[in-house]
Structures are given as structure tokens and as C-alpha cells.
Amino acid sequence: MSDKAPLDAAGREAIRQRYLAVDTSNVADVLDALGLPDQGLAPSFGPYPAHVDRLAGWAYTIRGQMTPFPLGGDAEKMKACQGVSPGEVTVWSGDGEGICYFGELIAIGMKERGCVGALVDGGIRDISWIGEQKFPVFARYRTPVQSIGRWKVNACQVPVLMRGATARHVEVKPGDFILADEDGAIVIPADLVEKVLVEAERLTATEVLIRKELSQGLSLAEALAKYGHV
């Protein structure tokens, strides 16, 4: 167990902002080097709307399952969403297919609590309206079909499984870090968040130098000889 004191709110936000400046590809390379090759999420996860900003934040997990129930709302979903804190990304997991896990109104409520986006192993709707809220969402699909009467939240802030890229599932625990951009989404374990960030920033700085020198006439072969594989 780490002897480091827990980060305060300012420290957590500082790390989140730094992650917004690195790419998932560099984070994936760092995780590979650390012996964690299966942290990437399935290629079907994508941004909604398509022009959404990248997603970065601390995981707040929500789990549900297909459960027929009377219309009238999902009290457990509302309760779960009320626990979200600033700087967190809601991570939605469950067996729902063809239905949305949430739409515009829940997104507004989460944003009011300081939530910085959502990662959804399922569907969303009200995409254009969520986009107007500038609330980044990465999900597997979109659908007009609501979850009420079909899919119900059964837990929050527990480890959840999300569909993976190189493994069937990726486990996400509360407090892990989520990063998503044009290349996809990836999960950084909580105890490695700072270590991975520092190395990803180093790779990013190296890539900036390589691009600059390539633009000034350095050949690719010369760049690889000088900087090695990046």
C-alpha cells in the first residue's frame, strides 16, 4: 500500500488537466511497458456527438442489468447519480443491449455536480442536446429506446467490467482514471495514475521534438536512430 497522502481536490484536478494534454496512444504504450497490455476498451466505444472533446476523469462506477419493471423511473439510478463528485467520470456497466442508459436530463444533473463526462458500455440518446451541454460522452452505441421498464441500476461505486480491446473485459474500480480521445478509451489503475502520467508526458514531449525536426528536414530513419521507437 502506498504511503503517499491522498490527493486533495486541487491535486486531483491538476492531474486531470495534465491528462487532457496527453494521448491515449502514449498512455497505452506506457501501460504496455508496465506489464498491463489489456487496459484499452473495445473499438466500438466512440464520442457522442462525434466532435466531442476528449474525456478525462476519475472513475465513478455505476452497474445495471436488464430487469423488467413498471414505468415510472429508476430510483436507484437517481440515487447513484447523486453521489458523483467534481472531476469524476461516470462509468456505466451492464448487460443492456439496444437501450440507452441515460439521456440529456441525467447528463445535466451530473454536470451540475461537477461530473466531467461519461463512459457508457451501452447506449445513450438525446445526443445533440447533450452536446450543447458540452458534456463529453463515449459510448458503444446510440438509441432512442429508454432504459425505464427495461434496465435498472443495481449498484454504484463497485468494481465493474467494461468490454475490452485485447481482452474480453477490462475491470474498472472506483478511483481508477479514464482517458478517451479520437483513438479510443483506456483505463489507468488508481495506484499508477501519477506514474503513467509522468511517462506519458515524457513521450509526448519527445514526439513534439520529432515532429518539429521532421518538418525541418530530418528523415524518418534519422529520427528513429536519434530517438528510438516512440
pLDDT, tens digit, 9 for 90 and up, residues 84-132: 999 999 999 998 889 999 999 999 999 999 999 999 999 999 999 999 9
Is position 212 within any domain? no
Is position 30 within any domain? yes
**113 neighbors 84 (Cβ within 8 angstroms):** yes
Which range of residues forms the domain containing residue 94? 9-189
Tell whether the model's pLDDT for residue 162 goes beyond 70: yes
Number of domains in the chain: 1
> Could you tell me the pTM of the whole model?
0.90
Instruction: Say which CATH number the domain at 146 has.
Output: 3.50.30.40
Per-residue pLDDT at 3: 60
